[in-house]
Structure 1
Amino acid sequence: MSTHPLEIPEILFLLSKYLPRQDQLNCLKVSKSFHSIFISEIWRTIRVEKRDRDIWDWSPNLSNGRIYPVDYRRPYSSTNITRNITRSSYLTGSTYLTGNPYLTGNIYPIISTYPTGSALQRNKHHIQEIVFFNDYPQEYFLLRDCLRLRAVTIHHPTSLNRGYTQASQRLWERYIFMSFAILVSAHTSTIQNVTLDFYMDALASPPMEIWDALNQCPKLDQLYLSTLRVSPNHTPSFFQACSKAQSLTLKFVAILDFPRESDENPINYINCDRLQEVKIIRAVEYIPFECDTPYSQARMLRRFHNLRSLDYRFEGDKQYSPTPSVCATNFFRTIIQGSWILHQLENLNFASAQIGDALLAEVLGKMHRIRSLNVSDTSFGHLSLQALLNDAPVNSGLSSATGNLQRWKLCGFIETLNIRHCKNISGAMIQTILESCPQLTQLLAERISIDEIARGKAWVCKNMRTMKLYLSAELNPGPDIAEKQHIAYTQLAKLTKLRELNLTEGDSLKNCERRTLDLRVKEGLSLLAGLNELCVFSFLYDPYQQMEIAEAHWMIANWPSLNYFLGVVNQEPCTREAFAAILCSKNITASNSFSPLRQ
């Protein structure tokens, strides 16, 4: 007797991924098979969160140096009342201090949005991820025996600290850190991903217990730290924790005492073999400490022999600060000195790094292969492009079947490329990329004209999945426009694996009129009938299209995967409405918003 498909666990597991939460809850009552699968999916991720924006307006009782967080799960409706809160609250080391402080203030009604009590204890073995956002109930930090717990995240916004004195804020931070350390210490054998994300005006200082807990996690894979300050006496434990992970993100993290190569016992406590991915995000307005400099960071990265991915960028207003240019230049000049690190790297993200074209070309010239490159908003230009087109170093280790070393071009490896907002980029350079990068699957670029495509060679990137650029046409087309458009359509038709095509991309031209290909079937759109996987088609800010109902029917017939259609199809409102109605009848989201510059 054959098994019913809806009793096969693998099918039920896939089904549970696509159902909304309420439907998942209803499925618990269908059968035991449904219950066993859906209960795991429902409890997979728990988000511990307060939904009210302004929960408290009070100054906490700091008698005896203690801060007592409120039981946010209990709803109250009165204001200006005194409430006796009985709760284990502040942690000192691993000891919980209990008490009954009196807290006076404005208390607003809160609705519990996460499980507690016996339900939590019965199903805790299903939990794989806990996300704390603006709420830190002790019941969750005291959890034990969560056999599948893989990830723990804390998002602590600045808004929670309104009305707190500096002393009370530090005590509150300590409560969060110590509670977090106890939860992680109880699940060291399963923890893989840890996130400490603080949205604060001042850098928070984690205690030693945080780094000790992380150092006990043998399976630690991803570590994300944001807006933190590492004290000098915590530096060894901090770097030990960082080197245990495979992926490390440091966002606005100040290290007060970088280890120095010349010291006795130099950084021998760092395991250099595991870390493969590093992201360093610096604040533009951040003035680094004397020892926490781009030079120190780059020198440290040179010790990680298996590093494969490097992300170094800035966040903030770069217009009025020279910091990004100086820091980025020092960082990359130091990286070049230990060029072997560039031999190993495959993924680079230099977005918004204000370094010159020559220095960027020197960095790329020392690499043996590159799969992903993000140089948006940089000085990427002719020198950098030439570095991609040149042969990789002969000692790259790539050999033929005969054992002889071969010379390869970097452009032969690259799969994703982001060159948006680069002032030195021209349409001819974009055409060169399209005809030189056979493995390219994603391209985010600026403007390339139909003329430049017509004069160029055939595109070789047949594996392209995402293409976002501004394929521009002349506002006053000449007599040969039909021939040039045919060539452009022919090039696009080769990209049969395209899933997203944007013909008017480019934020540097935001809210400006643009003119792209004539998107009518008789003008060449019919050549794109082979784009069977196309999901998103966009040509925003182009008010010159004259598409009719026939194009809508053609798209439905030839693009079966189309989900989103974005652009102004015609100047006539009736045509636009009819066009959108036809697409919507096939569950295609259509945005036919009229260009404001043409109204």
Structure 2
Amino acid sequence: MATVDALKIPEINLLIARYLERPHLVACLSVCKTWHQTFLPFVWKRIIIGTSRFVEGFSPSPEAMKQHRGLVQELQTDDLQLALYAIHYPNLRTLQLTRPFELDAESGSQVYRQTDKLVEAFLSRNPSVTKLTLRCKSSPRTIWGTISHLAGLRELILHESFIKREDSDDFWSVCMQLECLELHDTTVESRRPLSAGNFPRMRKLMLSSVGGLSTPDQLEVIKDCPLLKDLQWYSKTMTAVSKNMFVLHVAAGLWPYLERLHMMNILGDSDLATILDAQQQMTFLWLSGSGFGPLAFQALRRHFGVISELGLADCVNVTSVMFRDILCSCPRMEFLVGQGVLAKDIVEGGPWVCRSMRDLGLPIWFGAGEESLQPKIFQRLSELVLLEQFDMSVFQEDDPMPGLDPMPDLDPLDFRLQSGLGALSGLKRLRVLTVSGTRQSADIKEAAWMVSNWRDLEVIHGRLNEIDDYNDKLEGLLLYHNVFYDWSI
């Protein structure tokens, strides 16, 4: 029976290509003609070209870009080469343009005028773009007329942009066709006309430090998104009136499909309880600095079965038992951030069901005389075999765990083999470990164990040992194994 070389089967090679970084994909092109033909589309699918050194190891020339233009689906650039902007990419879907500028006002003005023309010409040549990201200090008026002709545009992301009053009609017209709009540190000089109608396709809206529009104006924009599923809203000028109006609109069912909410600092415990009671399901909540407390926690229980990401950093009303119950009750949880949880509460609680956890930012604290609980906690953590990032950091010396004695005598999880570290040998996907501010006493043998068992480990933030001489030795060992050791924090 004839044998078949599995690596010559196109379907298998296509599967392999999905998991390779660009330098490895480029290397595969030289293996044979079959591999060259298979891997070439993956090499050219996403291209990043910049005036700074290209970090991904693949910086194609304009000539090469023109030759392979039909394979390019995503392009990110801040390069001013005319040859690059003159190319038509028939299958381009995602475009990110950063408009560079000079510090000198006179030369900077000239560069801006040249760039404006290039950007407008480039967008006119590539009407297939569906996702556009712009990073620029200001925008020429004609660019919004050009963008309005991108009939397939569904996502628009603006960073540090300035929408002038005379451009606002074109800008809001563009927004009418979008499914996703993100405004980061962007100023919009003119509010949207009340007679303009709603945004019939908008599913995701992010308003972060938006200037020009008052908080009530921003709320009007949010109200005009009836199909909204994902809202991230942060305003430095948020008022209690606007906050209360937002909560009332949620309670009235204005956004029946809303399931992802990112709002920091402003919402109180009863506000959050009202929102959680009103929505059918919440899968993502980022509520750092909010008043999340017992009322919101009780309302959250209804969403335990579906929630996958929960950010409760700096929420002083969240208790250790609440975090314990979340770990025991949310099977789809992949991302959890909070102030911390007590080891004794973990041990006294039920088994963890969050086996899909990828990112855990939750300090674990031990009271006096609880050293015997260390191995039990390591055993619980060993169940999180998909974990990629584990953050135990704490930067406040007093009251590290809300709801406890003002001066608690608490110790952190001890990353030493004698305390049970060896139980974490199964965390093969762990890439980032953060122990900043936790007073560790690990030695060379622990560092050697980490690089031996955590083969994907890329960086350790914080000191593994409080003694500087030890850290010098640890740094040498970790760097030898290509692990960055940032023990300055």
Question: What is the TM-score with the length of structure 2 in the denominator?
Answer: 0.80
Aligned partner letter, 1:222: E
1:374 correspondence with 2:286: yes
CA distance in 2, matches of 1:252, 1:382: 34
1:441 CA displacement: 1.9
Aligned partner letter, 2:483: T
Which of the numbers 365, 378, 381 marks the counterpart of 1:492? 381
Partner of 1:182: 121
Partner of 1:216: 149
- Structure 1: gaps spanning 5 or more residues: 53-112, 315-323, 390-408
Partner of 1:563: 457
**1:152-199 Cα shifts (integer Å, max 9, x gaps):** 222134xx232224xx766654543343222222221x212211111x
CA distance in 1, matches of 2:446, 2:27: 44
Q: Which structure 2 residues correspond to residues 2-401 of structure 1 after superposition, within 5 A? A: 4-13=5-14, 14-15=16-17, 18=20, 21=23, 28=29, 30-51=31-52, 115-117=61-63, 119-133=64-78, 135-144=79-88, 146-157=89-100, 160-165=101-106, 172-188=111-127, 190-198=128-136, 200=137, 204-207=138-141, 209-261=142-194, 266-268=195-197, 270-272=198-200, 274-282=201-209, 288-289=211-212, 292-313=213-234, 324=236, 326-327=237-238, 329-339=240-250, 340-351=253-264, 353-389=265-301
1:303 CA displacement: 2.1
1:10 CA displacement: 4.6
CA distance in 1, matches of 2:382, 2:93: 44
8 Å CA contact 2:99, 2:115 repeated in 1: no
1:466 CA displacement: 2.3
Partner of 2:403: none
Question: The residue matched to 1:278 in structure 2 has which SS?
Answer: strand
CA distance in 1, matches of 2:450, 2:134: 50
8 Å CA contact 2:356, 2:386 repeated in 1: yes
1:422 correspondence with 2:315: yes
1:281 CA displacement: 1.0
8 Å CA contact 2:268, 2:291 repeated in 1: yes
CA distance in 1, matches of 2:410, 2:459: 17
8 Å CA contact 1:295, 1:334 repeated in 2: no
Partner of 1:103: none
**1:191-226 Cα shifts (integer Å, max 9, x gaps):** 12211111x4xxx2431x333333333332321112
Q: Which structure 2 residues correspond to residues 576-591 of structure 1 after superposition, within 5 A? A: 589=483, 591=485
**1:272-326 Cα shifts (integer Å, max 9, x gaps):** 1x2211111106xxxx54xx21212222222222211111125xxxxxxxxx2x4
1:505 correspondence with 2:370: no
Work out the number of aligned pairs and report it.
Answer: 470
CA distance in 1, matches of 2:181, 2:418: 53
CA distance in 2, matches of 1:461, 1:418: 15
Question: What is the TM-score with the length of structure 1 in the denominator?
Answer: 0.66
**1:525-547 Cα shifts (integer Å, max 9, x gaps):** 56556656555555444445466
Partner of 1:433: 326
1:375 CA displacement: 1.3
CA distance in 1, matches of 2:215, 2:8: 57
8 Å CA contact 2:283, 2:309 repeated in 1: yes
8 Å CA contact 1:413, 1:437 repeated in 2: yes
Partner of 1:462: 355
CA distance in 1, matches of 2:35, 2:353: 48
1:416 CA displacement: 0.8
CA distance in 2, matches of 1:554, 1:35: 37
Q: Greater Rg, structure 1 or structure 2? A: 1
Question: The residue matched to 1:568 in structure 2 has which SS?
Answer: coil
Pick which of 546-555 and 216-225 moved more: 546-555
Aligned partner letter, 1:267: A
CA distance in 2, matches of 1:497, 1:565: 17
Partner of 1:516: 412
Partner of 2:404: none
Question: The residue matched to 2:228 in structure 1 has which SS?
Answer: coil
CA spacing shift, 1:422–1:509, aligned 2, 3 Å: farther
8 Å CA contact 1:547, 1:570 repeated in 2: no
8 Å CA contact 1:562, 1:588 repeated in 2: no
